[in-house]
Structure 1
Amino acid sequence: MTTPQRAHVAMFSIAAHGHVNPSLEVIRELVARGHRVTYAIPEAFAEKVAETGAEPVLYRSALPGPDDDPSAWGETLLDNVEPFLADAIQALPQLARAYEGDEPDIVLYDITSYPARVLARRWGVPEVSLSPNLVAWEGYEEEVAEPMWKEPRSTERGQAYYARFEAWLKENGITQHPDPFVGRPPRSLVLIPKALQPHADRVDETVHTFVGACQGDRAAQGDWERPAGAEKVLLVSLGSAFTKRPDFYCECVKAFGDLPGWHVVLQVGKHVDAGELGDVPANVEVRSWVPQLAVLKKADAFITHAGAGGSQEGLATGTPMVAVPQAVDQFGNADMLQALGVARHLPMEEADAAALRAAVLALVDDPEVARRLEEVRAGMAGEGGTRRAADLIEEEIARGRRDGGVKGARAS
């Protein structure tokens, strides 16, 4: 494939690890290929973005930040979605000003970045979604979205949300209904293994291309060494957001503390202090953060919240998982992992010490689980990852130029 002339690529995302991390290796690869990449992001992630070689374009966000208490996101569906619309409305003028006179040749965006889609259409450039989690399949609206939204839509608050969304889109020259605007991108690269996608056979692959995990070597995050004498290693992590679960961590300590031959790495996040866990046995290593992929490469089991990132890291390293989902897509991911035969889905209300220990021990002793993990890993290896994602983005740049939808390269 002929590499296109240097382009200005603009990426847009929010300040959340689960939305930024999946795209970073793709951005790093585009920079390495000689493209100028700008990345619109709140200041909390500026340094992480700059490490890829991209230029951070900072904007002020009204969303809860990565260090905020998870309760800031609320509890209901409308609690969860209203902040994204409010943030988009206030962020759009900032981003339009930031890019005035420096418009890109292509817009890449995380699924949460509504302003990116508005700007791409305003500028007349290709827009490509980099999806960090599952995408809609044919029938998704009828099977999932409509039942989920039936009650909220019937409320005054829900109707006001849709009215505000439609009005904002129309103000910006977009007549599309909010639902397809959010859920049906014109082009999408899916940064998860196809094995994690529900109803993958019903996904329109002329729109969505599964490139799989784009993980990189993560060397900058540091390494982790398996302690001498540890026959088995267990990692426990609920990710970076919904980590305020001291009672759950206590159950993990009770389940695996002093278990002969086992070493436990217990990541508790920023909202739990190790002192809340009481007396912790010597075989339990309590951390606020760990280099997760480095630990998983040496682990024998993984208790996870089943976020898209953690799920695919568990699959990529061939690590049996106990999935204890907390929010949003994690419940579906947990079901997918269990259906693949590589995990057990254990609801939080059932995740006591006895259940956790039984699930982990059953998984690590089951040769069929090991076989299924190896089978999934082999499938993931053929998806292409970072290089394929960059190739496809370059194809979109070239296509846009051929079709006249993209101006010549502006980067000097």
Structure 2
Amino acid sequence: MPRAQRPAHIAMFSIAAHGHVNPSLEVIRELVARGHRVTYAIPPSFADLIAGTGAEPLLWNSTLPTDDKPEAWGTELIDNIEPFLDDAVQALPQLLAAYEGDEPDLVLYDITAYPAPLLAHRWQVPAIQLSPNMVAWEGYEAEVAGVRAELRATERGRAYYARFQAWLDEHDMATRTDPDRLAAQPDRCLVLIPQAMQPHADRVDASVFTFVGSCQGDRSHQGDWRRPAHLPSDAKVLLVSLGSAFTDEPAFYRECVEAFGGLRDWHVVLQIGKFVDPSQLGEVPDNIEVHHWVPQLAVLRQADAFITHAGMGGSQEGLANGVPMVCVPQAVDQFGNADMLQALGVGRHLPKEEATAQALREAVLSLVNDPEVAARAERLRRQGASEGGTRRAADLIESALPE
């Protein structure tokens, strides 16, 4: 019987963040369906979500800031990266204890799961990174060298690098990697995004990184969304969502209400997140439904346009469904994603300070009414689907299982 068809114990590691967990869920569900035992090391807040895939949640306590307090991430680069190292150092003993006597046959891990490659090395099992966003390309290190040099020039930056290297040394990883390469240069990586969203895709090492595209599947557990029965067949649907973290933007939502409220032949699904009360929006016309949360993929499958923060999850879901996007990025990689979607000809990058009601309306209508945008969106949808998605990812994982 081929090794790939024998049940194996596969361990997945991630942090408690939707943008890092959601892309892996369908891969995990597929591996479980193929008969493998999958344990998923995750903080308690995501236990039910993981259990829904059929995997076994293996709980550990995290010190990372949560979506409830996005401001805790700070404003400087060092503010953003220190918490991941702090969390990894305190998480590793928890994970070692949890897996003692139950070591896996193979390790899967998100780019933020720093302990995972250390554990795989300790257990002498294969490890595959699952990247939910863009990966390094040939010449990447030279291009970011200036940023790293600036960081190392500060006392706090030097302390960060010294502590990180000492942690790697302690766990016999010094000859295998360093702080800058641990996440960016894995031994093997499946990239869970369409190759079209990857900068300098022609310079990515294909022997390390394999693009499998969006890994989507049945998300009925998240609920469903249906077009209102009264909508004419030619009415268009617009989804507005800024994701799950940086959503405390009542002024932006009011601009959206002004832009599309009462607009003939348009129906708007407006997600406002957990921080904003609907009363802060003022009077909302009948063609706009307001929710704290919506099953995004279910709406996108029926949408004609998407106003998004351009997180990688939302960006690739928009591409996978051929939906043109107006991008209003809030933080981190969202600015680069917005630029990429605009360069692909299926999006508009609209800076938040310029996202007035008039600008939002003009951007959406210009995209939707342009047949060339529709043609490009359909071509990118087909291209992404051809990359294999969930099944190809699971095939590649099974092929890496040891004999």
8 Å contact from structure 1 (residues 134, 198) kept in 2: yes
Residues 169-228 of structure 1 show CA distances to partners (whole Å, capped at 9, x for unaligned) of 111111132101121000000000101111100000110000011110212212111122
- Counterpart of 2:46 in structure 1 is 45
- Counterpart of 1:139 in structure 2 is 139
- Counterpart of 1:160 in structure 2 is 159
**Shift of the alpha carbon at 1:152?**
2.4
1:248 aligns with 2:247: no
Residues 33-112 of structure 1 mapped to structure 2, 5 A cutoff = 33-66=34-67, 68-112=68-112
In the alignment, the residues of structure 2 paired with residue 234 and residue 124 of structure 1 have an alpha-carbon distance, to the nearest angstrom, of: 49
- Counterpart of 1:406 in structure 2 is none
8 Å contact from structure 1 (residues 69, 271) kept in 2: no
In the alignment, the residues of structure 1 paired with residue 361 and residue 153 of structure 2 have an alpha-carbon distance, to the nearest angstrom, of: 44
In the alignment, the residues of structure 2 paired with residue 162 and residue 246 of structure 1 have an alpha-carbon distance, to the nearest angstrom, of: 39
1:212 aligns with 2:213: yes
Letter in 2 for 1:209: T
Give the match's secondary structure for 1:247.
Answer: helix
1:169 aligns with 2:192: no
In the alignment, the residues of structure 2 paired with residue 182 and residue 295 of structure 1 have an alpha-carbon distance, to the nearest angstrom, of: 33
Among candidates 268, 272, 288, match of residue 264 of structure 1: 268
Q: Return the TM-score normalized by structure 1.
A: 0.94
- Counterpart of 1:199 in structure 2 is 200
Which structure 1 residue ranges, 4+ long, deviate > 4 Å from structure 2? none
In the alignment, the residues of structure 2 paired with residue 215 and residue 101 of structure 1 have an alpha-carbon distance, to the nearest angstrom, of: 33
In the alignment, the residues of structure 1 paired with residue 157 and residue 237 of structure 2 have an alpha-carbon distance, to the nearest angstrom, of: 47
In the alignment, the residues of structure 1 paired with residue 48 and residue 218 of structure 2 have an alpha-carbon distance, to the nearest angstrom, of: 18
Letter in 2 for 1:128: I
- Counterpart of 2:184 in structure 1 is 183
- Counterpart of 1:235 in structure 2 is 239
**Shift of the alpha carbon at 1:99?**
0.3
Letter in 2 for 1:77: L
In structure 1, the gaps of 5 or more residues are 402-412
1:333 aligns with 2:337: yes
In the alignment, the residues of structure 2 paired with residue 354 and residue 345 of structure 1 have an alpha-carbon distance, to the nearest angstrom, of: 15
Among candidates 348, 351, 370, match of residue 355 of structure 2: 351
In the alignment, the residues of structure 2 paired with residue 225 and residue 29 of structure 1 have an alpha-carbon distance, to the nearest angstrom, of: 27
- Counterpart of 2:318 in structure 1 is 314
Q: Return the TM-score normalized by structure 2.
A: 0.96
- Counterpart of 1:288 in structure 2 is 292
8 Å contact from structure 1 (residues 6, 34) kept in 2: yes
Letter in 2 for 1:137: W
Letter in 2 for 1:317: N
In the alignment, the residues of structure 2 paired with residue 366 and residue 44 of structure 1 have an alpha-carbon distance, to the nearest angstrom, of: 43
Q: Which segment is superposed worse, 44-53 or 147-156?
A: 147-156
Residues 3-51 of structure 1 show CA distances to partners (whole Å, capped at 9, x for unaligned) of 3321110000000011101001000111111111000000000011011
Give the match's secondary structure for 1:168.
Answer: helix
Give the match's secondary structure for 2:107.
Answer: strand
In the alignment, the residues of structure 1 paired with residue 267 and residue 378 of structure 2 have an alpha-carbon distance, to the nearest angstrom, of: 24
- Counterpart of 2:21 in structure 1 is 20
8 Å contact from structure 1 (residues 187, 208) kept in 2: yes
8 Å contact from structure 1 (residues 70, 244) kept in 2: no
Residues 322-359 of structure 1 show CA distances to partners (whole Å, capped at 9, x for unaligned) of 01111111111111111111010111111111111110
**Shift of the alpha carbon at 1:258?**
1.4
Give the match's secondary structure for 2:207.
Answer: coil
**Shift of the alpha carbon at 1:388?**
0.4
In the alignment, the residues of structure 2 paired with residue 282 and residue 79 of structure 1 have an alpha-carbon distance, to the nearest angstrom, of: 43
Residues 292-343 of structure 1 show CA distances to partners (whole Å, capped at 9, x for unaligned) of 1111111111000111110111111111100111111111111111111101
